[in-house]
Chains A and B, each alone.
Chain A
Amino acid sequence: MTAHIEIKDVVKRFGAATVIDHLSLSIDPNEFMVFLGPSGCGKSTLLRMIAGLESVDEGTISINGQRIDNLPPGQRDIAMVFQSYALYPHMTVADNMAFGLRNIGISADVISARVTEAGRMLEIGHLMERKPGQLSGGQRQRVAIGRAIVKEPKAFLFDEPLSNLDAALRVRTRVELAQLRHRVKSTMIFVTHDQIEAMTLADRIVVMNNRKIEQIGTPMEIYSRPATRFVATFVGSPAMNFVDATLDTSGTNVTARFAGGVSVETDIGSNQLGDGKYTFGIRSEDVRVAPVGQGNAEGVVDVIERLGERTLVYARLGDGQQVVGSDAGNSPVAVGDRIGLAFDGRKSHLFNEAGHAWHARGV
């Protein structure tokens, strides 16, 4: 049975410091939920609270309607994969996987069957008699996942499990995890600070910052319609462009005017906005490099990053603000060139001083 996890108004304090501040969240059965955020945002603490490794100072955590925050970790019917894998160094791979099952008195036959099946699924069947010290990083990772799988838990918790792997192995393991989640029907919570892991694996992403949830949404919602300026900055590489602008709300749609006479008509209704100062935001792929005189702004190229399929062009506008635009992979532009920039107002965003976002209808 898979878990519906309900987190209600939880608070966590370490001494005088509050690390989780009245946070509520609902995770659906079979959902792959990713907690994404920078170091120290509280995402790992929240995961450890669900696991029972940290106490809950206020609020409740329930699984399928049953309150679990007062249960010891072993009785919550969840399994966790640690960043350091936390395999028992003196036990063989088979014993590592069987340990948890032995502790709850499952018969040897069932244990053996489950361990063998997990070994087959994760292609570690030939490593069963080895000890963790004799395994590579990737193999240890699989054993750690295997140890979780054999318990057939209601929910899996992953605490940055890919961060100790080298770049190539990380990509491979990420793909394997994506495959695994379709084979193992269970609720999964995955903590990471890597937005690519979050975007590729998640059904939904919880973006956290500074002890609070910034946004909950599908990967494309998070990317295309970031709720706050923080999310727009944290998700996406390169980060969204932000340009100081004055707004003209005399028309149906807002027109953003930058210093130097540049103006971009957005697809955001003028009647949606209140008073105050706003910042114009747009992703680099929605700023196309164009010949001088075309597009709605001009700039001088500072830096060029060639990514293969496209080229990122860092250009400085007339007032000194830098924006990143996109061009074809074989773009002819060079550092120091004067170029035109075509801002696609239908894909633009506006952020008020508090960081809250308004999005064009086209995104």
Chain B
Amino acid sequence: MSHNPAIKGRAFGDRVLLGLVILLAIVMIAPVFFVVALSLKNNQELMVDPNSVFRLPYTLVNYINTVGTSSVFRWVLNSAIVAGGLTIFTLVLSSLAGYGFARLNFPGRDALFIIVLLGLAVPEQAVLVARHQIFSWIGLHNSYPGLILPGLSSAFGVFLMTQYFRAIPKELDEAAMLDNASRFRIFWKVLLPLTVPAQATLGIFTFLGAWNDYFWPLISATKKEMFTLTVGIASTQVNFAQSQGIGFLMAQAVFAGAPILIVYLFFQKYIVTAVSGAAVR
């Protein structure tokens, strides 16, 4: 079989592809290693010679300083509360809305669904000033609700869950009705468990989006103790990085990146399928 030129050609093509993938992986992962290496270097040594990052000695002093002095933990906590809260509430709301659009008959349902979908086309910048003003009036700035609420109107989430509920055969609802299950029990026990793959996809996208969000937290959180991680790290950076030391900054970045890495490790399977657009079965 190995003499078949078509297969031989394919094997060669596979190798080229593999080489490219490895190259891409190196390009992606190199900055991460660089960040970790920098975080393990003494700041004075780096100021004298930045190339010292590539040689011994390495030290944990930046991590010790981070634990001792930085606000990064507070910011990680803030980000975790905002991203976690946003994810949970988005899943709840999108699932309920998706079920409603997919399974209930009520007047104006289709028109309402189109209005929800129009939300996909409205950029955040277009509503930012108005939203800032409203949140200012009701005193929600510098609070967790202030950071979480705007993200809850997830047109994407409602759309995704609606489509997913629609794809579930109605016979399951009917079988459950004949099994004397209430409407809520059908939703909770029969349909919702079947949407776990969609929930995972939506949850991951929502969590990553909220964790990495910079724009709204920058506007809403003006007090240092309410900064999310992105805003906090940025604020440290503008404070003339060299005075605190690049190694110290990188140690904070490692702390900042760790939770997302953990999320990734736990949900690897779902993230890969979510990004590739396939459904997990």
Give the B-binding residues of A (Cβ under 8 A). 51-53, 72-75, 78-80, 82, 84, 86-90, 99-100, 103-104, 147, 151
Q: Of B51-59, B65-73, B174-182, B255-263, which stretch is located at the interface?
A: B174-182
CA distance A35 to B222 in the complex (A): 72
Interface size of B in residues (CB-CB distance below 8 Å): 16
Q: Which residues of A contact B169 (CB under 8 A)?
A: 84, 86
Interface string of B164-184 (1 = CB under 8 A from A): 000001011011111111000
A74 touches B175 (CB 8 A): no
Which residues of chain A are within 8 angstroms of B177 by Cβ–Cβ distance?
Answer: 52-53, 72-74
CA distance A188 to B172 in the complex (A): 21
5 contacts across the A-B interface (CB closer than 8 A): A74-B178, A82-B171, A87-B175, A100-B179, A100-B180
- Interface presence of B9 (CB below 8 A): no
Q: Flag if B190 contacts A88 (CB, 8 Å).
A: yes
Using A82-B171, A84-B169, A89-B194 as known contacts, say yes or no to A51 and B178 having CB atoms under 8 A apart: yes
B226 → chain A, closest Cβ, in Å? 41
Instruction: Check: B185 CB closer than 8 A to any chain A CB.
Output: yes
Contact A74/B181 with A90-B194, A99-B176 known, Cβ cut-off 8 Å:
yes
Q: How far is the CA of A147 from the CA of B190 in the complex (A)?
A: 15
Which residues on the A side are within 8 Å of B190 (C-beta)?
A: 88
Give min CB distance, B170 to chain A, whole Å. Answer: 9
Instruction: Judge whether A73 and B178 touch: CB under 8 Å.
Output: yes
**Nearest-CB distance from A56 to chain B (Å)?**
16
CB neighbours (8 Å) of B174 from chain A are: 51, 53, 73, 80, 82, 86
Interface SS majority for chain B: helix
Residue numbers in B under 8 Å from A80 (CB-CB): 174-175, 178
Chain B's nearest CB lies how many Å from the CB of A295? 53
Count A-B contacts at CB 8 Å: 56
Q: What is the CA–CA distance of A75 and B185 in the complex, to the nearest angstrom? A: 15
8 Å CB interface, B118-137 against A: none
Which chain B residues lie closer than 8 Å to A52 at the CB level?
177-178
- Say whether B180 contacts A74, CB under 8 Å: yes
Residue B193 is within 8 A (CB to CB) of chain A in the complex: yes
Chain A residues within 8 Å of B180, by CB? 74-75, 100, 103-104
Measured between C-beta atoms, what is the minimum distance from A111 to chain B in Å?
A: 12
Given contacts A52-B177, A53-B177, A79-B178, 8 further A-B contacts (CB under 8 A): A53-B174, A74-B177, A80-B175, A82-B171, A82-B175, A86-B171, A99-B176, A100-B178
Taken together as a complex, chains A and B put the C-alpha atoms of A75 and B177 apart, in Å, by 9
Contact across chains for A86 and B194 when beta carbons are under 8 A apart: no
Q: Which 6 A-B pairs have the closest CB atoms?
A: A74-B180, A100-B179, A86-B171, A86-B175, A103-B180, A73-B177
Contacts of B176 in A (CB 8 A): 88, 99
CA distance A87 to B194 in the complex (A): 12
Chain B residues with Cβ below 8 Å from A104 are: 180
Give complex CA distance A147, B171 in Å: 14
Query: Is B179 a contact partner of A86 (Cβ separation < 8 A)?
Result: no
Distance of A52 Cα from B169 Cα, bound (Å): 18
Given contacts A86-B172, A90-B193, A90-B194, contact A78 B181 (CB under 8 A): no
The smallest C-beta distance from A256 to any residue of chain B, in angstroms, reads 50
Chain B residues near A51: list those with CB within 8 A. 174, 178
Rounded to whole angstroms, the CA-CA distance of A84 and B179 in the bound complex is 16
Contacts of B181 in A (CB 8 A): 74, 99-100, 103
Q: What is the distance, in angstroms, from A156's C-beta to the closest C-beta of chain B? A: 11
Q: Closest CB of chain B to A70's CB: distance in Å?
A: 15
The distance in angstroms between the C-alpha atoms of A51 and B193, with both chains bound, is 26
Inter-chain contacts of A73 with B (CB < 8 A):
174, 177-178
Residue of A nearest to B281 (CB): A133
Whole-angstrom CA separation of A53 from B177 in the bound complex? 8
Residue from B174, B177, B179, B181 with most neighbouring chain A CB atoms (10 Å): B179
Q: Are B171 and A84 neighbours in the complex by a CB distance under 8 Å?
A: yes
Q: How far is the CB of A101 from chain B (nearest CB, A)?
A: 8
A88 to B171, CA, bound (A): 10
How many Å from the CB of B196 to the closest CB on chain A?
Answer: 8
How far is it, in angstroms, between the C-alpha of A87 and the C-alpha of B190 when the chains are bound?
10
B172, A88: Cβ atoms under 8 Å?
yes
B172 near A74: Cβ-Cβ < 8 Å: no
**B237 smallest CB distance to A (angstroms):** 47
Cα(A147)–Cα(B176), bound, Å: 11
Does A88 lie within 8 Å of B175, measured CB to CB? yes
The A-contacting residues of B in range 171-211, CB under 8 angstroms, are 171-172, 174-181, 185, 189-190, 193-194
B152 CB, nearest partner CB in chain A, Å: 27
Nearest Cβ distance between residue B179 and chain A, in whole angstroms?
A: 3
Alpha-carbon distance between A147 and B178 when the two chains are bound, in angstroms: 11
Chain B residues lying within 8 Å of A78, measured Cβ to Cβ, are: 178
Bound-state CA distance A99–B175 (Å) is 10
Report Cα–Cα, A86/B175, bound state, in Å: 6
Taking A53-B174, A86-B171, A103-B185 as contacts, is the C-beta distance between A74 and B179 under 8 angstroms? yes
A53 to B176, CA, bound (A): 11
Cβ of A72: which chain B residues have Cβ within 8 Å of it? 177
Minimum CB distance partner of A99 in chain B: B179
Minimum Cβ distance to chain A for residue B164 (Å): 14
Cα A72 to Cα B175 in complex, Å, equals 13
Bound complex: CA of A48 vs CA of B133, how far in Å?
55
- A163 vs B241: C-alpha distance when bound (angstroms): 72
